[in-house]
């Protein structure tokens, strides 16, 4: 696992865009997983401003996670968030996205359908954010490293952190779809984006704590070709130690 230090959030966002465009240029018609959340917003702004963004038009995208049990046209769907911050600014056709239907009648079959799509197309490139409880997508603490795409109950900590998106905890749906950790592990290249001092404790656990289901992101140590791109605030525990070994 390679750790790259960015100066700050802007630097992280620029570097993430360069990383993604290089990864895309090296893969024919790639299948790509991209996250929602606040961390990747700067990445998406940088991509929209980059003349090489046309590379993205050849890709297929798979939704990383989605709330379950709300209407398709509910403004809280992560699908509409993703279309608004990524697909529309980059003029990517909606047919390029394999998404979850949050209102489907058979959520288990819906999860299995998206998992089959991921396995059949293969995953070339995966960009992830890090939850403050160590989740990837909505793979909450306790998730098996071999888990497949499925419906999960959100943890109290995720409900609390997601309430920042929607104004109050009561607005956060209690269940969600997530690509599984085993599903994500099939990716050929993975980039984990981490920004801010509030992520320092969990990033430390991810990089240096014991491999544990209680910190799902520790599974990344078993993935192939992983880059962790974090800003100095998120890595400040190492900076305080005067760790000069970080590239
Ligand atoms: C959210 C999402 C993840 C996201 C993570 C970090 O709950 N389920 O897909 O990557 O938590 O979010 P943020 O970037 O807003 O900190």
**49 — pLDDT class (breaks 50, 70, 90):** very high
- Number of domains into which the chain is organized: 1
Mean pLDDT score, 23-46: 97
Q: How confident is the model at residue 236 (pLDDT cuts 50, 70, 90)?
A: confident
Percent of the chain topping pLDDT 70: 96
Instruction: Report yes or no: 227 and 19 within 8 Å, Cβ to Cβ.
Output: yes
pLDDT of res. 247:
37
Residue 26 lies in a domain: yes
Tell the residue nearest (CA) to atom 5 of ligand 1. 131
pLDDT at residue 178 above 50? yes
9 near 46, Cβ under 8 Å?
Answer: no
Per-residue pLDDT, 240: 55
Burial of 113 (0-12, 13-18, 19+ CB in 10 A): middle
Question: Would 213 be classed as within a structural domain?
Answer: yes
CATH number (domain holding residue 53): 3.40.50.1360
**Predicted confidence (pLDDT) at residue 245 exceeds the cutoff of 80:** no
- Which range among 35-44, 101-110, 112-121, 231-240 shows the weakest confidence by mean pLDDT? 231-240
Q: Which residues does the annotation mark as catalytic?
A: 65, 133, 135, 140
Beta bridge partners of 229: 4, 193
Q: Coil, strand or helix: which one is 8?
A: coil
Q: How far is the CA of 80 from the centre of ligand 1 (A)?
A: 15
CA of 145 to the centre of ligand 1 (A): 18
* Tokens 């100095």 -> residue: 232
DSSP-derived secondary structure for 122-176: ---EEEEE--TTS-BTTB-TT--TT--SEEEEPPHHHHHHHHHHHSSGGGS-SEE
pLDDT at 244 over 90: no
Check residues 240 and 19 and name the one with the higher pLDDT: 19
227 domain-assigned: yes
| Any domain includes 47 | yes
Confidence bin at 169 (pLDDT 50/70/90): very high
Q: Is the pLDDT of residue 246 over 70?
A: no
Hunting for tokens 């570097």 — which residue is that? 15
Indicate which atom in ligand 1 lies nearest the CA of residue 164.
15
> Which residues are paired to 119 by β-bridges?
none
Residue 41 has pLDDT above 70, yes or no: yes
For 48-73, what is the mean pLDDT?
96
Kindly state whether residue 133 falls inside one of the protein's structural domains: yes
Protein residues with CB under 6 Å of any ligand 1 atom: 35-39, 64-65, 129, 131, 137-138, 158, 161-162
Mean pLDDT (the chain, rounded): 95
Counting from 1 in the atom list of ligand 1, the atom nearest the Cα of 199 is 16
Q: Atom 12 in ligand 1: which residue has the minimum CA distance?
A: 37
Whether 183 is covered by a domain: the verdict is yes
Q: Whose CA is nearest to atom 10 of ligand 1?
A: 129
Question: To test ligand 1's pocket by mutation, which of 9, 12, 13, 35 has the most ligand atoms within 8 angstroms of CB?
Answer: 35
Domain that residue 130 falls in: 2-231
Is 81:89 a contact under the CB 8 Å cutoff?
Answer: no
Reported as a single tens digit per residue, the pLDDT across 3-16 is: 999 999 999 999 99
> What pLDDT does residue 115 have?
98
Tell whether 239 is covered by a domain. Answer: no
Is pLDDT of 198 > 90? yes
Q: What is the DSSP letter of 217?
A: G
Q: For 61-113, how does the pLDDT look when each residue is reduced to its tens digit (9 = 90+)? A: 999 999 999 999 999 999 999 999 999 999 999 999 999 999 999 999 999 99
Residue 66 forms part of a structural domain: yes
């Amino acid at each position: 696992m390679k750790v790259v230090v960015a100066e700050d959030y802007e630097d992280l966002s620029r570097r993430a865009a360069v990383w993604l465009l290089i990864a895309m240029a090296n893969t024919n018609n790639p299948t790509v997983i991209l996250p929602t959340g606040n961390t990747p917003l700067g990445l998406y702004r940088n991509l929209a401003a980059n003349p090489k963004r046309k590379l993205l038009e050849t890709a297929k995208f798979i939704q990383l996670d989605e709330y379950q049990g709300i209407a398709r046209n509910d403004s809280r769907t992560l699908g509409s968030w993703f279309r608004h911050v990524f697909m529309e600014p980059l003029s990517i056709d909606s047919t390029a996205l394999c998404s979850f239907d949050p209102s489907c009648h058979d959520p288990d079959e819906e999860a299995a359908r998206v998992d089959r799509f991921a396995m059949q197309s293969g995953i070339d490139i995966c960009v992830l954010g890090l939850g403050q409880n160590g989740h990837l997508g909505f793979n909450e603490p306790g998730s098996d490293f071999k888990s497949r795409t499925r419906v999960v109950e959100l943890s109290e900590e995720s409900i609390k952190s997601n309430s920042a998106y929607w104004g109050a905890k009561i607005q956060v749906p209690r269940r969600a779809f997530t690509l599984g950790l085993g599903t994500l592990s099939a990716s050929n290249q993975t980039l984990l984006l981490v920004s801010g001092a509030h992520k320092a404790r969990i990033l430390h656990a991810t990089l240096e704590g014991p491999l544990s289901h209680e910190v799902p992101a520790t599974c990344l140590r078993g993935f192939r070709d992983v880059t962790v791109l974090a800003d100095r605030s998120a890595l400040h525990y190492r900076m305080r130690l005067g760790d000069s070994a970080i590239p």
